[in-house]
């Protein structure tokens, strides 16, 4: 287990190796991501209480709308409220979730976050947390939502980075302050990830009940490279676990 408020370089190395091996005997990116978020939720600890340091851990990946399961397409359509969407539109898709509440432990129970359609730049600019994640990752919004195949080679070598909000309370970048941040005592938010060979973005987001320092955030930039190694073999095929099968943990 790791003290998230005092996350050392040794912790970084150990955690990175653990996450790197989460693809062993895995059938899909979803299954691998599920193992990752549960491992982080269970092993990033607040030593003062002996409980999880994170109220919620989530794994997102952009995915073309046309390749989503019908129920995820419906989730995207519900957000658009009648606006048209094309098959190639990138959707920020929730692949895995683990948290303190029972209903935070199945991606299908999420409301409003199962598949967020990044339909155009205006939409992203009106979604403060998504916008900050993209910008702090060092990416352009147009790059993330673009489906041009000429970008794929260039994007696959994009440096990994982190999205770090050290003070979540009152931050304009973190929504649902009254419904989530304040009642669940969220102090910091940290996202880490990068680009996959397909040109899709992946991000793991920690909603932490303990402060996360800039130094700790930097450690997770390094960890993101190991996360990518574990999931990239599923980048173009087997992203989702077959619907008839439970996710193995």
Token pair recorded at residue 92: 């920020």
Q: CA geometry: angle at 112 spanning 220 and 124, to 5°?
A: 65
Domains of the chain, CATH where assigned: 2-60+99-106+127-234 (3.30.450)
Predicted confidence at residue 249, as pLDDT, reads: 46
Q: Report d(CA 113, CA 117) in Å as an integer.
A: 10
In this structure, the strands spanning 90-99 and 54-64 are: antiparallel
Q: Which pLDDT score, from 0 to 100, does residue 74 have?
A: 97
- Rounded to whole angstroms, how far apart are CA atoms 170 and 86? 36
pTM for the predicted model, two decimal places: 0.94
Rounded (10°) CA dihedral 176, 117, 245, 226: -80
List strand residue ranges (DSSP E) for 158-231, in order.
161-165, 188-195, 201-208
Which DSSP category does 48 fall into? T
Q: Per-residue confidence of the chain (249 residues) as pLDDT tens digits? A: 999 999 999 999 999 999 999 999 999 999 999 999 999 999 999 999 999 999 999 999 999 999 999 999 999 999 998 899 999 999 999 999 999 999 999 999 999 999 999 999 999 999 999 999 999 999 999 999 987 644 555 555 555 899 999 999 999 999 999 999 999 999 999 999 999 988 899 999 999 999 999 999 999 999 999 999 999 999 888 999 987 555 544
How far apart, in whole angstroms, are the C-alpha atoms of residue 44 and residue 7? 9
């Amino acid at each position: 287990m790791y003290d998230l408020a005092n996350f050392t370089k040794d912790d970084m190395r150990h955690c990175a190796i653990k996450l790197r091996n989460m693809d062993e005997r895995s059938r899909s990116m979803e299954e691998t991501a599920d193992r990752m978020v549960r491992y982080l939720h269970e092993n990033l600890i607040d030593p003062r209480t002996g409980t999880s340091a994170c109220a919620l851990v989530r794994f997102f990946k952009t995915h073309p709308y046309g390749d989503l399961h019908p129920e995820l397409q419906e989730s995207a359509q519900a957000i658009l409220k009648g606006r048209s969407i094309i098959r190639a539109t990138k959707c920020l898709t929730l692949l895995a979730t683990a948290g303190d509440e029972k209903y935070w432990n199945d991606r299908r129970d999420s409301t409003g976050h199962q598949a967020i359609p990044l339909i155009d730049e205006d939409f992203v600019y009106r979604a403060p947390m998504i916008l900050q994640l993209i910008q702090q990752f060092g990416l352009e919004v147009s790059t993330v939502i673009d489906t041009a195949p000429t970008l794929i080679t260039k994007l696959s070598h994009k440096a990994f980075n982190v999205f770090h909000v050290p003070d979540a309370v009152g931050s304009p970048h973190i929504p649902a302050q009254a419904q989530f941040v304040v009642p669940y005592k969220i102090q910091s938010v940290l996202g880490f990830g990068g680009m996959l060979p397909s040109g899709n973005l992946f991000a793991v987001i920690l909603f932490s009940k303990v402060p996360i320092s800039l130094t700790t955030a930097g450690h997770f930039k390094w960890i993101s490279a190991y996360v990518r190694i574990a999931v990239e073999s599923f980048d173009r095929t087997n992203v989702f676990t077959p619907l008839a099968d439970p996710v193995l943990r």
